[in-house]
Structure 1
Amino acid sequence: MAKFLYVYHGSGKMPTDDAERKAAMDAWTGWYDRLGSAVVDGGNPVGMSKTVLPSGKIENNGGSNPTAGYTIVEAKNIDDAVAKAKDCPILMDPGFSVEVAPIIEMM
């Protein structure tokens, strides 16, 4: 099985209401449970990024497509990884997307 990186993009905010936060966590837990052993690294949410340009200039714009978090999964191929990503709870928010990329093992 190959490894794939899910990069979550979007500019939404974490729920602040306890009930909404619990519902969001339950959705993620359910999705991870359905993925089972395919989850290599459940990942984490990430904070706002800074972009370093070739000139050395720093942009504090969160990136051209702000990263919200990541997960690493195992799948047969990229099509299998994409199929698994389609049920990701982050996609319930129309402002988010999941980028799927193969991890190229160097050693």
Structure 2
Amino acid sequence: MSKYVVAFRGQPGRATSVEEEQAWGAWFGQLGPAISDRGNRVGVTRTLTAAHRGEPGTAVLTGYVVIEADSLDAAAGLAGGCPGLAGAVDVEVAEVVPS
């Protein structure tokens, strides 16, 4: 298994509803033991584009999680459940390059 950074990009100061916050919590619960929180530089990436992303040039990093998966495709599959994708949060998935 490899580690993958799942980074979230959205508009600065974007407000979230109570329902969206609950959906994020539920999604993190579904990721469960796949979550690992260790920082490193990254290699190959894949970006999943949000449905209502706003101006891409103004998007900023809004958070991240590190997960474990068998492949970039498997990691992107897990990331595809991110509730932010239905709104204005792009998700970028990148394999961690061991140091």
Task: Name the TM-score, length of structure 2 as normaliser.
Answer: 0.70
Instruction: Tell me the residue number matched to 2:94.
Output: 101
Q: Which consecutive segments of 4 or more residues in structure 1 shift more than 4 A?
A: none
Please provide the CA RMSD for this pair: 1.8
Q: State how far apart, in whole Å, the 2-side matches of 1:65 and 1:24 are.
A: 19
State which of 25, 32, 35 in structure 2 corresponds to 1:36.
Answer: 32
SS state of the match for residue 91, structure 1?
A: helix
Which of structures 1 and 2 has the bigger CA Rg?
1
Q: State how far apart, in whole Å, the 1-side matches of 2:72 and 2:20 are.
A: 26
Show CA shifts across 1:59-89 (max 9, x none): xxxx764111111111011010000011101
Instruction: Tell me the residue number matched to 2:21.
Output: 25
Calculate percent identity across the aligned residue pairs: 32
Aligned length: 79
Using CA pairs under 8 Å that are at least 6 residues apart, name the structure with larger relative contact order, 1 or 2: 2
State which of 60, 65, 72 in structure 2 corresponds to 1:71.
Answer: 65
- Runs (5+) with no aligned partner, structure 1: 42-62
- Runs (5+) with no aligned partner, structure 2: 38-56
Q: State how far apart, in whole Å, the 1-side matches of 2:29 and 2:10 are.
A: 24
SS state of the match for residue 98, structure 2?
A: coil
Task: Name the TM-score, length of structure 1 as normaliser.
Answer: 0.66
